[in-house]
Amino acid sequence: MVKPLSLEDFRTIRHILEPNDFALGNDEDDPPPSDQIAQETWAGIMNLPDDVAIRVSDHNGTRLILLYNLWSDWIEAIGDPNNQDELFGCMLDANDCFQCATFDLLHGFYRSSISNLRTALELVMIGAFANLRPADPKYQRWKKSDEERFGFSYCRKKLRKILAGQPAEWLFDETAFPATTFAELCKFTHARPNSSDGALWQSNGPVYNSDAIFKAFSFSLDVYATCYVLVKVSRPNFVLLQDSEILFELDWMVHHASMVRAYRQLYGGAMP
């Protein structure tokens, strides 16, 4: 049986935006509900994710704050909308993926969270390549949604050739952390047996699972850090926001040593 959360808990109350809070909003009141969901249906859809969201936010507040702050930094890092490069649109779309990844993690949809991170990483790899080779015919067709065989691997291999002989060439080798991270993320996108929802939940779900939470959280940090490496490769004048430098300080991250090497090589100077 479910039970209501205490009214003293701020998470009990739901909020909706006023019409004029939206970018294209107006001052007119929202119309009354025209086809409101049945209470039983709402409960069937929301009870499990709501339960997980409360439990995750009870025990992972620091992690959620970090993910929220990284997402906020990413919004600022996207660039000037009045002076867009080829990377701008890809970073903008990746921003939505990062937001979804945190939301899904909070509600126990860990595989979906990780899958969104894969899309974010692929988009930024595409944008990094496009910034250096904007006239590439496959990229131009992709922009028109007319090219299916275009993505992370194509762009990585092309960037390795573009940067041949330069210090950053190693980042685009198939054994370097951008490629190996992407390969790991792909397992969850395709829901392979050991990377499915059930494997992460160890149950039917969504349910609270501390190991799955840490996995999705760790992947989030890996992808943010990798994306900032790719951004710097294709935007040499890019300056990393100070709060996001923590991504290169966490020595427990799987690819920490390689990420520090990339940070020093691309951003210069000592570690923050």
156 lies in a domain?
A: yes
4 lies in a domain?
A: no
pLDDT on residue 2? 85
Which among 139, 189, 132 is positioned nearest to 160, based on CA atoms? 132
pLDDT on residue 270? 55
1 lies in a domain?
A: no
202 lies in a domain?
A: yes
pTM of the model: 0.95
pLDDT on residue 147? 85
pLDDT on residue 152? 98
The two tokens of residue 165 are 């002989």
16 lies in a domain?
A: no
CA distance 260 to 251: 9
170 lies in a domain?
A: yes
259 lies in a domain?
A: yes
pLDDT on residue 24? 65
Element (H, E) at 142: helix 137-143
Residues (pLDDT < 50) of the chain are 272
CA distance 124 to 142: 14
12 lies in a domain?
A: no
pLDDT on residue 21? 77
Residue type, 81: P
List the domain range (segments joined by +) for residue 176: 26-267
Cα torsion at 124, 128, 129, 132 (round to 10°)?
Answer: 160
Residue type, 214: F
- What is the DSSP-derived secondary structure letter of residue 18? -
Count of structural domains within the chain: 1
pLDDT on residue 148? 82
| 176-198 pLDDT tens trace | 999 999 999 999 999 899 999 99
CA distance 198 to 111: 9
Tell how far CA 49 is from the center of its chain: 20
